Amino acid sequence: MRRCLLEIALLVALVICCAAAGSARADGKGMAPAAKAELDRGLERYKAKDYAGAIAAFDAGYAIDAKPEFLYVKAQAQRMSGDCRKAIETYLAYLATHPPEDKVEYANANIERCEKQLAAEPAGGTAEPGEAEPAEPPATSPAPQRPQGGTGSGTTTAATPTGS
């Protein structure tokens, strides 16, 4: 329960930080109202651990207003549902939007988690749902290259779609 609350707090922090960076605001300014409603719906679904419902809401919001926040939170939901392959694609799509360096670190840390999880899977196996620690439409081909720089070696524990 404590981890879930931490995840939710971190997701809210990501949305607020993105707002401060000018890409979207927690009050919805800078984001189409219908997209903001889908973001809120997706965050509620995420909190309820309905990751499929969260992904659907984030996709719907992204279709309305293609803000990078949707990509990050979608990747988080994909990772938490155990779909690290798709999560990596979506984190890379998010990184292709050139987010602030601290967000790059979270995304890279979560990519590394997924890569470790995939490497530990037996061939043809299925992944277990993601860990709840730090760490939006699928990337189009070719997939963007992961930026070099911060890898999120960190002690940061972003949990909700911010960095679980």
Q: What is the pLDDT of residues 22-41, one digit of tens each?
A: 343 333 458 999 999 999 99
Model-level pTM? 0.65
pLDDT band at 57 (very low <50, low <70, confident <90, very high): very high
Q: For the residues 145-158, what does the mean pLDDT come to?
A: 44
Helix, strand or coil, per DSSP, at residue 156 = coil
Nearest to 73 by CA among 24, 120, 126, 144: 24
CATH class of 2-120: mainly alpha
Nearest to 136 by CA among 76, 46, 80, 52: 76
pLDDT reported for residue 71: 97
Which alpha helices (DSSP H) does the chain contain, by range? 2-20, 33-47, 51-64, 68-80, 84-95, 101-120
Tell me whether the omega of the peptide bond preceding residue 142 falls within 30 degrees of 0, making it cis: yes
Length of the chain: 164
Q: For the residues 112-128, what does the mean pLDDT come to?
A: 78
Percent of the chain with pLDDT over 90: 54
